[in-house]
Amino acid sequence: MSPDVDEVNVPDSQRSELPAGQAALTRPSAAFVMTVVIATTALGVLLPAYLGDSGPTDPYWLAVPATLAAARFGFLGAAITSTSSALLTGPLSSWVPGENVPSAFWPERGLFFLVISLTVATLVRRTRTADARALEVLEQQRVQAVAASHERGQLTEALERRISLDALTGLANREAFVARLQHLLGAGRAVSVLFVDLDDFKNVNDTLGHAVGDELISSVAARLATSSRGHDFVARFGGDEFAVLLCELEASHSLRVAQRLLAELKTPFSLCGRTVAVRASGGLAVSEGRPTGGVEERAMELLRQADLAMYASKAERTHGVTLYHDTMQTEMVERLSLESDMHHAIAGHDFFLDFQPIINLRTRTVSAVEALMRWQHPTRGLVPPSAFVPVAEQTGMIVPLTLWVVREACEQMRRWDTDPTTEGLSIAVNLSGRLVREPGIGSAIAREFHRAMIDPHRLIFEITESLLMEDQSQAIQTLCQLRALGTRLSVDDFGTGYSSLSRLNKLPIDEVKIDQSFVSQLEEGDAGRTIVQASVAMAHGLGLRVVAEGIETERQLHMLRSMGCDDGQGYLFGRPGSPQRVTEFCRDWETRSERTLAELPRQDTASRDAASDVDGRAVSA
């Protein structure tokens, strides 16, 4: 629907002056009327005489000026012209040679002229009224067109803003950031590109909802904008990823500025009545001079380098800034190749499990085995877990891989139960931090138990101590779900993560595993022995079992037993091997244990009873 002309916001200079012009056309001046009357009379008297056939008394000749006057001035002009012509033409015609008409005929002739001119004036007035209306419509259309053009300009400006700005945060978007970067590179400016990505942002959306997630993104954007320097350029690339363009800085200075920006994000955010703490990883790429290639190519190269550095930072989980270096390209190509091979390995069953025995130091029996995932690559050979586990965590493939380990461990327990030597053997499985933060992983593991019909108590899940330091509600919820199933939970690498005793006491933990780095220091001096002895005493004080990793000498074994350590694991007892080797190990262990532990004193009765109260289930297992 077209807007009313008076309601359209149009500049006054663009409005029409048509009504005033139309009024001027219908109001003839007195001088002009007299001129027309004189001209009409002269034409009525002189023109017929010179043409010959008609005299001045011919009504047709006098109708011509009357009609012209009617067309110009309407009814008023027609009346004046007709009357004056009728009254004046007769007396004046006597001055012109030719026939004369009796003067009594002039009034009738004037009336005749008046009727004719009024008829013509009526037709002309209707025509002029239609023309005026048409002009008015055209003027309205012109005004509306001007208004529409004005609105289009506003819409175009708003659209350009929307194209260059992020709708949620109001920051510049990726396109605007790239355009700014190309402009600075083209001008030969030294610039640095910082990529910032929030760690585990998905958990915020899953646990607190997308509304809180959007508010967190907006708060992070505002903090980055206020914390950056005035001439820096902050943008949101999408999701939980931001970019900052740092200008006129050397590499070392850019790194300090980037670290300061990420440090600002460590302060918790207050969102919807909740306090939310987030961590971020950053990648920094630096261009210190005029680009050697094209501006667009160099800009894309800087973005790619910053992206590689950011993913390297996320892989290290340092929650800091990583500066790009040339080896990252090779590492990324290797990682992508490894990732592709892992997809084929999962489908082709190239993964398998080795098992390392865990010995109960009190009963001298095999209490459990630890499942260790291996990958036999067709061309790379045996790929170590340190090479493929980080890639699996970054890509999310750790979830199907761990579920496969749980499924295979359950099946292996069923196979071992058919042999009296290995019947009732428990299995420990490692859980990555990424896995326990995945919603629904507890339910997925529960389904594996039900399908295999295995007692969940025989499965021990090991988590790293660093996970306990992180305030991750989803991880804690997953651990509680696993504990509710009846499984046991163990803290791996205990002593390396500096977890608090209060936090350790609140979690559903059954045992701790002292890291092998501390076990190896037992023979090096009093400091190493003091650390291990304090860890054992602390764990027992919390009602937890203690497992020592990396036992390689009989002296280490003797010292651990004297400290009251419950279980031991290491090359002194046995290396990781196939399920068949584990079966053979268990058959031979009774003889070996007598030889290995013969020289070691047994624990006193009080220590043995205390350890049994902590968890006697491992003995029966």
Regarding predicted confidence, which is higher, 28 or 224?
A: 224
Q: Determine the average pLDDT of the residues in 567-584.
A: 93
pLDDT above 70 for 576: yes
Q: Is the pLDDT of residue 178 over 80?
A: yes
pLDDT digits (tens, 9 = 90+) for 351-374: 999 999 999 998 889 999 999 999
Section 339-349 average pLDDT: 84
Query: How large a percentage of the chain has pLDDT more than 90?
Result: 28
Residues 6+ apart with CB under 8 A from 264: 223, 224, 227
Q: What is the mean pLDDT of residues 12-23?
A: 42
Nearest to 463 by CA among 520, 401, 532, 402: 402
Output the pLDDT for position 98: 46
SS (H, E, C) 366-383: EEEEEEEEEEEECCCEEE
CA distance 258 to 196: 9
For 462-491, the pLDDT digits (tens) are 988 766 666 566 777 888 888 998 999 998
Output the pLDDT for position 1. 42
Residue 309 reports pLDDT greater than 60: yes
pLDDT of 547 higher than 60: yes
Number of C-beta neighbours around residue 263 at 10 A? 14
Q: What class, spelled out in words, does domain 174-335 have in CATH?
A: alpha beta
Question: What is the band of 494 on the pLDDT scale with cuts at 50, 70, 90?
Answer: confident
**pLDDT confidence bin for 558, thresholds 50/70/90:** very high
Task: Give mean pLDDT, residues 104-133.
Answer: 61
- Is residue 409 within 8 A of residue 579, CB to CB? The reply is no
The domain locations on the chain are 5-160, 174-335, 352-614
CATH of 352-614, one of 3.40.47.40, 3.20.20.70, 3.60.21.70, 3.20.20.450: 3.20.20.450
Of 470, 502, 507, 476, the closest CA to residue 277 belongs to: 470
- pLDDT at residue 194, as a whole number: 94
pLDDT at 487: 92
Output the six-digit token pair for 396.
């999310």
Q: For residue 9, what pLDDT is reported?
A: 44
Alpha carbon distance 71, 81 (integer Å):
12
Whether residue 107 has pLDDT greater than 60: no
pLDDT at 97: 46
pLDDT of residue 496: 64
